[in-house]
Amino acid sequence: MTDKRFQMPAIILGLSLVVSVIIFGNFIYKIQSLNNTLTVTGSSRQKVVSDTGKLVGRFMRNTNVNNLKDAYKLMESDKTKVVNFFKSQGIDEKAMTISTVSQQEIWKQNEYDGQPKQYNLVQTIEINSNDVNQLDKLSKNFQALVDQNVLFSIERVEYYVSKLPEYRVSMLSDAIKDAKARAEKIAASSGKRVGVIKSASAGVVQVLSPNSIDITDYGTYDTSSINKEIMVTVKALFTIR
């Protein structure tokens, strides 16, 4: 049987907790009400075309340790063919950057089979150009090099927007307008009206492929497509009345 001497203090303590929760809850509600602000995120999207790009290709020779000297000579010949090919396609030699030869040993499961070691000799060529359509065309048509027995392949082609900072600034006003329109709809649902903007902070820029929704908290920069879509966001704080 519970001692009545301990029941009363417990009841008083319980009632005190209930009262404090009610008071504290009302206090938070009043602070929010007195604040009379609404934070909304707005966004703006704009379609753009890349105005600069980079093509990276590679050519190689396979050889064994006994034929390294001849293989290096063939690589020098291949380099001349690669440079001449791109020059014939209208690429300035100054726009080309060719790496030194990389010698990569080919590992075999049984390296004690008595056969000489095998190597891949690899060189890369990087082309930077403002003619993105030309880069796209070259990445798909290098048969002339193959016809000359050059083991050539495209590693990647990347497309960029050089005026991204300018686009970002011009799009911020549209993002703020979008934020205000959203705020007005939210405020109207509770019988209030949106007042002045108190503060605004821009989010990261998203450079997306057309119609993409692949956005991240840290920003996305798609380099695979010539046509892109830039998205900027703004978090805006409005007064409501």
Domains 36-49+163-240 and 52-160 in one fold: no
Q: DSSP secondary-structure letter at 66?
A: G
Cα separation of 230 and 221, whole Å?
A: 9
Half-sphere exposure of 36 (CA within 13 A, CB side): 10
Query: What pLDDT is stored for residue 222 in this prediction?
Result: 95
Span 212-240, pLDDT tens digits: 888 888 899 999 999 999 999 999 999 99
**pLDDT at 182 exceeding the cut of 50:** yes
What is the model's pTM? Answer: 0.77
Angle among Cα 156, 160, 163 to the nearest 5 degrees reads 170
Span 10-47, pLDDT tens digits: 433 343 433 333 333 333 222 234 478 999 999 999 99
**pLDDT at 9 exceeding the cut of 80:** no
As a whole number of angstroms, the longest Cα–Cα distance in the chain is 104
Residue 56's H or E segment, with its range, is strand 52-64
Query: What pLDDT is stored for residue 117 in this prediction?
Result: 85
**What is the third-level CATH fold of 36-49+163-240?**
Translation Initiation Factor IF3 (3.30.110)
Span 119-133, pLDDT tens digits: 999 999 999 999 999
**pLDDT at 1 exceeding the cut of 60:** no
**Boundaries of every domain in the chain:** 36-49+163-240, 52-160
Span 82-102, pLDDT tens digits: 999 999 999 999 999 999 999
Q: Say if residues 62 and 120 touch (Cβ distance below 8 Å).
A: yes
> What value does the mean pLDDT take over residues 182-190?
91
- Give the residue with greater pLDDT, 176 vs 18: 176
Q: What are phi and psi of 131, to 5 degrees?
A: -95, 85
**pLDDT at 106 exceeding the cut of 80:** yes
Asked: is 52-160 a CATH 3.30.70 domain? The reply is: yes
Cα separation of 183 and 96, whole Å?
A: 52
Under the banding of pLDDT at 50, 70 and 90, the label for residue 107 is confident
Span 43-85, pLDDT tens digits: 999 999 999 999 999 999 999 989 999 999 999 999 999 999 9
Q: Is 79 left (phi over 0), alpha (psi -120 to 50) or beta?
A: alpha
Query: What pLDDT is stored for residue 19 in this prediction?
Result: 37
Span 117-171, pLDDT tens digits: 889 999 999 999 999 999 999 999 999 999 999 999 999 999 999 999 999 999 9
